[in-house]
Amino acid sequence: MGIVNQDNITDVVIQSLGRNGDVTDRQREIMTSLIKHIHSFVKEVKLQHHEFLEACAYLVRAGKLSSDNRQEFILLADILGIEVLVDMMTNPVEGNASESTVLGPFYRENPPVLPKGASIIKKHFDNEETAYYEGYIRDAAGKGIAGVTIDVWEDAPNGIYENLDPDQPDYNLRGRFETDETGHYAFVGVRPVPYPIPEDETAGELLRFMGHHPNRPGHMHFIISKDGYRPLISQIYDADSKWLDDDSVFAVKESLIGKFKPAQPEHGTDLHFEFDFALKSEAELASVAAE
Ligand code: BEZ
Ligand code: FE
């Protein structure tokens, strides 16, 4: 081991891995790279001790803020572009499968299970524009997949998700739907409005430290899943929304942008939004991995 100095400290710490307990190959790979990159960052910016203490206090504040309702570390990772990068590496674009994007911190488990075509609106706002959302969930060959579970969630016309707004009913603008035998889904929601990600506390401190605004373009979140297919976590974006090319969490993908059109009388809403998704089957994934 020996005595450390600025030149050998990185190697000494890396060599200590597994000294007093087992580490897997993956743990060794992750920790070796983490130690190398963090040490080189500390050296490159010549991190001073008071800055190190400020960073530790910052992480303590972020931890104290975190709860089931506020995923502060996901938020910080999003502001740094980490979640979108991890997602792009975990779910690379393959064939005609739809693109994924970040989950974000506002998903809630077990949304209300609703029949096809039902509304997720539990409270009305003066400025709302209602929309009929529909489309097909298809396989790689373009055939509709029956019995796909679709969780959706969006912000209210005041720009706030229900779990952060005491004036909205529980699970407002959240729902779980299933495709019919042709792979078709449909539900009624509102046109999502652009909103600022939480900018109080530590997320706001990071945004200001980086000189960034907090805004996201209007979007609807989806989690699309069925046994035998890779689950798809994604969002669809309003082509006419502000901030499409300047998203505070870097999550917009060209292929996920769609257009709200005026609704027809049978929709019973102000607007109509059609969007199809394609899923990759586990069998196709296994054959790609085997090549
Ligand atoms: C969201 O779209 O809900 C979101 C994503 C990343 C950070 C904050 C919010
Ligand atoms: Fe969102």
Rounded to 5°, angle at Cα 168 from 69 and 274: 90
Inform me whether the pLDDT recorded for 290 exceeds 80. Answer: no
Provide DSSP, 83-116: HHHHHHHHS---TTPPPP----S---SSPPB--T
User: Alpha-carbon distance 226 to 137, whole Å?
Assistant: 11
- pLDDT at 65 exceeding the cut of 90: yes
Atom of ligand 1 nearest to the CA of 235: 2
Pocket test for ligand 1, best of 162, 163, 216, 222 (most atoms within 8 A of CB): 216
Instruction: State the Cα–Cα distance between residues 101 and 98, nearest whole angstrom.
Output: 10
Counting atoms of ligand 1 from 1, which one is nearest the CA of 197?
Answer: 8
> Given pLDDT bands bounded at 50, 70 and 90, which one contains residue 291?
low
pLDDT of 179 > 70? The answer is yes
**What does residue 182 show for φ and ψ, rounded to 5 degrees?**
-95, 0
pLDDT band, residue 68 (cuts 50/70/90): confident
Q: Give the pairing of strands 232-238 and 257-258.
A: parallel
Measured in Å, residue 104 CA sits from the centre of ligand 2 at 6
Pocket residue to mutate for ligand 1, from 75, 173, 248, most atoms within 8 A of Cβ: 75
Instruction: Work out the mean pLDDT of the chain and round it to a whole number.
Output: 95
Q: Tokens at residue 64, please? A: 């104290």
pLDDT band at 217 (very low <50, low <70, confident <90, very high): very high
Residues with CB under 5 A from ligand 2 (ion): 104
Per-residue pLDDT at 288 exceeds 80: no
Q: Quick one: pLDDT at residue 271?
A: 98
What is the predicted pLDDT for the residue at 200?
Answer: 87
What would the pLDDT profile of 75-115 be if each residue is shown by its tens digit?
999 999 999 999 999 999 888 899 999 998 889 999 999 99
For residue 187, is pLDDT > 90?
yes
Question: How many other C-beta atoms lie within 10 A of the C-beta of residue 92?
Answer: 11
Q: Is 284 a residue whose pLDDT tops 80?
A: no
Ligand 1 binding pocket includes 106 (Cβ within 6 Å): yes
- C-alpha to C-alpha distance for 287 and 221, rounded to whole angstroms: 29
Q: What is the pLDDT of residues 233-254, one digit of tens each?
A: 999 999 999 999 999 999 999 9
- Strand pairing partners for 187? 133
Which whole number is the average pLDDT over 121-136?
97
Distance 145 CA to ligand 1 centre (A): 28
Q: What is the pLDDT of residues 7-31, one digit of tens each?
A: 999 999 999 999 999 999 999 999 9
Q: Would you say 87 and 231 are in contact if contact means Cβ atoms under 8 Å apart?
A: no
Nearest CA, atom 7, ligand 1: 104
Answer whether residue 180 shows pLDDT above 90. Answer: yes
Rounded to the nearest 10°, the torsion over CA 142, 147, 148, 151 is: 140
Retrieve residue 212's tokens.
């960034």
Check residue 95 and give its pLDDT: 86
Contacts of residue 133, defined as CB under 8 A and 6 or more positions apart, other chains included, come to: 152, 185, 186, 187, 188, 189, 220, 273, 274, 275
Q: Are 188 and 153 in contact (CB under 8 A)?
A: no
Higher pLDDT pick, 289 / 229: 229
Which residue bears the tokens 């963090």? Answer: 38
> How open is the CA angle 25-102-168, to the nearest 5 degrees?
130
pTM of the model: 0.89
Q: Which atom of ligand 1 is nearest to the CA of 219?
A: 2
Look at residues 210, 202, 200, 197 and name the one whose alpha carbon lies nearest to residue 56: 202
For ligand 1, the distance from its centroid to the CA atom of residue 106, given in whole angstroms, is 7
